[in-house]
Amino acid sequence: MKTNIENNKISRKLVLGLSVMSALMSFSASSAFLDYRQEYKHDQELWASKIKLGAGVGKHYFGVESQQKGHIFDDWKANVSEFEYGYRHTINENWRVIPATLVTFTNSGVTYKPQVQVQYLFDSGVVTKLRYRHQFKDLVEKDNQQTSQVTANLAYNYNAFQFELSGNYWKSLDDIDMFNNKDSNWDANFKLGYREKDWSLRPYLELGNISVSSDSSDRQLRSRVGITYSF
């Protein structure tokens, strides 16, 4: 019963977020997208899904996201809802700074994620991104926690293909074990997308090297497949 109540709360938050997004999109949104992604963690044999709706209005952008645990055709349960707002500030043709904030709702509490990303576009078309995010976790049954996260990206488009390498590093500021009985963790990802010029859909594939648990040094493959619809 408790799980159903918690899932209903998350669903209501998602519906509210979608309503807000719909209102924003109807107010001269210059771009919008709908993304669906399915993932599988191979060692743990865990399935998860993500649905995200985003829109841009001038230099501002907004997003609402719902994450689900379990296989889509079996035991699908909503467990995370997230709302995002950001602002794209273009310095010149090469440099861009993007401050943003995210608010994530889970069964265990609320997490606030202010962040700032710096992008540099090379003349060759290569794009580099560096982002710092600070997470404030307001937990229901545990003490509040803070985590620092640094993300680096390297992206390049070749004809209809999009290639991206990314890595994340997390550091707990409250001595919380995250990986191998230590207060830090990391992952590495490769992403391949494909979209022709006249397409509205972009399918993509991701392969990631991620940790298995907080008390083990084991790593595992995380496979993701998804599709993005732009309109």
Q: Kindly report the pTM of this predicted structure.
A: 0.86
Predicted pLDDT at 2:
44
Per-residue pLDDT of the chain (231 residues; tens, 9 = 90+): 444 444 555 555 555 555 555 555 555 567 899 999 999 999 999 999 999 999 999 999 999 999 998 877 666 677 789 999 999 999 999 999 999 999 999 988 999 999 999 999 999 999 999 999 999 999 988 899 999 999 999 999 999 999 999 999 999 999 999 999 999 999 999 999 999 999 999 999 999 999 999 999 999 999 999 999 999
Predicted pLDDT at 70:
83
The domain in which residue 48 lies consists of: 2-230
Predicted pLDDT at 71:
75
CATH of the domain at 92: 2.40.160.40
Residues 6+ apart with CB under 8 A from 124: none
- If you search the block for the tokens 């841009």, which residue do you land on? 56
**How many domains, in total, are found in the chain?**
1
Predicted pLDDT at 1:
46
User: 86: buried, middle or exposed (CB in 10 Å: 19+, 13-18, 0-12)?
Assistant: buried
